[in-house]
Structure 1
Amino acid sequence: MSRRPLGQLEAEVLAAVSVSGPATTAELLSRIPGDPAYTTINTILFRLHDKGLVTRERDGRQYRYRLAVDEARLVADKMHDHLRYASDSSSVLSQFVDALSPEEVDELRQILEHRGKRT
């Protein structure tokens, strides 16, 4: 089994919490691809809690985790951070758009057109 970067696993756990709503480590474990260890997911959840990205409440002997932030805002902020630190942001944007599916291009076009009408 190949190992994935920790950031990717954190993103997968956040996505699983976002989709499932309040869930325990065991419930989330079945939603994470690649058969990660229970302790790995539990550690990721503790770290996400420390970062303020998830909240938790006791449910018997375990915790039930809930997303504490808007997932779209979280991902958008990360994308913006990466773009801000790029030496050639135009090239980054161009490559990003080149990698989009036709459906995603249409969605982006609609968003930009709508934004243009608001200003």
Structure 2
Amino acid sequence: MVGRGELERAVVSVLWDAGEPMTARSVTEALTGRDLAVTTVLTVLARLEGKGIVRRARDGRAHTYEAVAGREEHTAHLMRQVLDTAGDRDDALARFVGAVSPEDIEALRRALDGR
């Protein structure tokens, strides 16, 4: 059985890849290799909307859904949320930097220089 978090990630990934609003039926069809009912996808979309990750708009008789933020912006938001839970931010950041690849270190340097 697919976990709720995994299905939510798959649904939002479809929305990110589409780059435009989609109906629940379109999202369901894009989730290839999964035997899901449209009602299941609607439930997941409603959950994502409740979390502020997806927004819904009426389009005729149907609703369309789109991600509120792009993939990278959402990832950065999650990283900030996790960092906010650290008791010692300096230590958490130091441990993070100590665990990333040299390529990621360079990306961090470029990001800090650009700030």
TM-score clears 0.5:
yes
Q: 2: CA distance between counterparts of 1:41 and 1:79?
A: 26
The 1-side partners of 2:110 and 2:69 are apart by 25
Residues 1:111 and 2:114 are matched in the alignment: no
CA 1:25/1:78 → structure 2, altered by over 3 Å: closer, same or farther?
Answer: same
What is aligned with 1:43? 43
Which stretches in structure 2 are left out of the alignment for 5+ residues?
none
Name 1:93's counterpart in structure 2: 96
Partner letter of residue 26 of structure 1? R
Residues 96 and 109 of structure 1, relative CA distance in 2, 3 Å threshold = closer
CA contact (8 A) 2:8 2:44 kept: yes
| Cα separation, partners in 2 of 1:90 and 1:52, compared to 1, 3 Å | closer
Residue type of the alignment partner of 2:11? V
The AA in structure 1 aligned to 2:8 is: E
Letter in 1 for 2:45: L
Q: What SS does structure 1 have at the residue aligned with 2:30?
A: coil
Cα displacement string for residues 45-83 of structure 1 (whole angstroms, at most 9, x for unaligned residues): 112223332222222321111222233122222234335
1:8 aligns with 2:11: no
Relative to structure 1, the CA distance from residue 117 to residue 82 in structure 2 (aligned partners, 3 Å threshold; closer, same or farther) is closer
Structure 1: segments with no counterpart, 5+ residues:
none
Compute the RMSD of aligned alpha carbons.
2.9
Question: Retained in 2: the 8 A contact 1:24–1:63?
Answer: yes
TM-score (norm 2): 0.70
Identical-residue share of aligned pairs (%): 27
Structure 2 residue 95 is matched with structure 1 residue 59 = no
Distance 1:65 1:89, change over 3 A: same
Question: In the superposition, relative to structure 1, how do residues 111 and 19 fare at CA in structure 2: closer, same or farther (>3 Å)?
Answer: same
